Amino acid sequence: MTLISPDHPARISVAEFNQLLQEQHPFASILDIEVMDIGCGTATLRLPERNSHQRLGGIIAGPMLMGLADLALYAAVVGATGNPQAVTASLSINFLRGAPPGGILAHAHIHKIGRLASGDVLLVPEAGGDAVAQVISTWSLPRST
């Protein structure tokens, strides 16, 4: 088990991560998510305002928030390990309140790296205000070949 230190540099840059998504995970472009920052075990991503992200009543749909959180954690895991083969083992989301229309920021933090990585994400409205969801996730880290 390795605890994550934010003092270490990220093992992948934002540009390299975007290239990785384009080449190996093209489905990620469906949500138009912007990768804002990647650190060693941290990442900040942004889900832009789109009518297609909303459900009835004008709130951001839960699957959009889950996709944002999952991608933010993937960025944080790859930022800490450099291993692009990491896969989600579990993801649990707590919806705290309806997400208002507008951009949503995902702040991901990895707390432990080993055979499994674990971390959390806080989803907050870009315009400010209280968190709309909190996510806890575990990732499997296949051995690099």
User: What is the C-alpha to C-alpha distance for residues 115 and 112, in angstroms, rounded to an integer?
Assistant: 10
Whether 2 is in a domain gets the answer no
pLDDT of residue 107: 98
pTM, to two decimals = 0.92
User: What is the C-alpha to C-alpha distance for residues 88 and 90, in angstroms, rounded to an integer?
Assistant: 6
In this model, does residue 55 exceed pLDDT 90? no
pLDDT of residue 1: 52
Q: What is the domain-level CATH number for residue 131?
A: 3.10.129.10
Whether 47 is in a domain gets the answer yes
In this model, does residue 102 exceed pLDDT 60? yes
In this model, does residue 17 exceed pLDDT 80? yes
In this model, does residue 145 exceed pLDDT 80? no
Exposed (0-12), middle (13-18) or buried (19+): which is 64, by Cβ within 10 Å?
A: buried
Whether 11 is in a domain gets the answer yes
Span 38-47, average pLDDT? 96
Both structure tokens of 139: 């990732």
Whether 15 is in a domain gets the answer yes
Whether 121 is in a domain gets the answer yes
Q: How many domains does the chain have?
A: 1
Among 1-5, 54-58, 128-132, the range with the most confident prediction by mean pLDDT is 128-132
Whether 18 is in a domain gets the answer yes
Query: Could you tell me the residue range of the domain that residue 92 belongs to?
Result: 7-140
